[in-house]
């Protein structure tokens, strides 16, 4: 499957919810993608084809929708999956990274031994969507701080009108499937 065909399928499958969670926001609902076995399989086949030659060691997914895509892709590629979670959600020793929100700050964390203490593990970061890029930037910093090497950040959707792509490009390569 080529990228253009996949983009057309995703555009036809992902539901737009106007004014959610607040007025003026056009929410991209991926549940309609997840419950469409045909299109979800097409997406996973495309990602598997793209990343099989990267010889990854791990895929790191950002809570929570990145878990879905990351774990599914990790099983297809035969590599480990590493969750990046909101602060206070992981049970073992963690490393934490703070990032700015529109009003305030939040934090994400990763287990200190997520890459089994193997230096320069090749890691793909994945999430469903990139907007401002704060969570992704913090996640890349976490991956690199514990000895991983984030070789690319992959997002299903890139929200137009934000500078996230340029922000993340400072740290790693960025791949997005669909600009919305």
Q: Where are the beta strands (DSSP E) in 8-117?
A: 15-18, 26-29, 58-62, 80-86, 94-101, 104-111
Distance separating alpha carbons of residues 1 and 123, to the nearest angstrom: 24
Of the candidates 106, 108, 144, 114, the residue with the CA atom closest to the CA atom of residue 127:
108
Known active-site residue 102: yes
Residues 97/142, Cβ–Cβ less than 8 Å: yes
Strands laid side by side in the 104-111 sheet: 94-101, 104-111, 80-86, 58-62, 121-130, 148-158, 173-179
Which one of 4, 53, 102, 119 is the catalytic residue? 102
Answer for the pair 30, 92: CB distance below 8 angstroms, yes or no: no
In Å, the largest CA–CA distance within the chain is 46
**Could you tell me whether strands 80-86 and 58-62 are parallel, antiparallel, or unpaired per DSSP bridges?**
parallel
Q: Is residue 116 among the annotated active site residues?
A: no
**Active-site option among 48, 65, 76, 107:** 65
Q: Which residues are catalytic?
A: 65, 102
């Amino acid at each position: 499957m080529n990228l253009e065909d996949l983009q057309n399928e995703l555009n036809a499958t992902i539901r737009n919810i106007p004014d959610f969670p607040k007025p003026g926001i056009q929410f991209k609902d991926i549940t309609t993608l997840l419950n469409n076995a045909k299109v979800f399989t097409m997406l996973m086949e495309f990602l598997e084809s793209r990343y099989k030659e990267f010889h990854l060691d791990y895929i790191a997914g950002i809570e929570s929708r990145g878990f879905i895509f990351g774990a599914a892709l990790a099983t297809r590629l035969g590599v480990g999956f590493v969750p990046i979670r909101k602060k206070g959600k992981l049970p073992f020793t963690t490393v934490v990274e703070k990032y700015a929100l529109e009003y305030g700050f939040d934090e994400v964390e990763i287990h200190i031994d997520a890459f089994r203490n193997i230096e320069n593990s090749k890691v793909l970061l994945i999430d469903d969507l990139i907007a401002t890029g704060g969570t992704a930037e913090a996640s890349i910093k976490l991956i690199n701080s514990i000895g991983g090497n984030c070789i690319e950040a992959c997002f299903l959707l890139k929200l137009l009108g934000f500078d996230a792509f340029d922000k993340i490009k400072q740290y790693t390569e960025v791949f997005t499937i669909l600009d919305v």
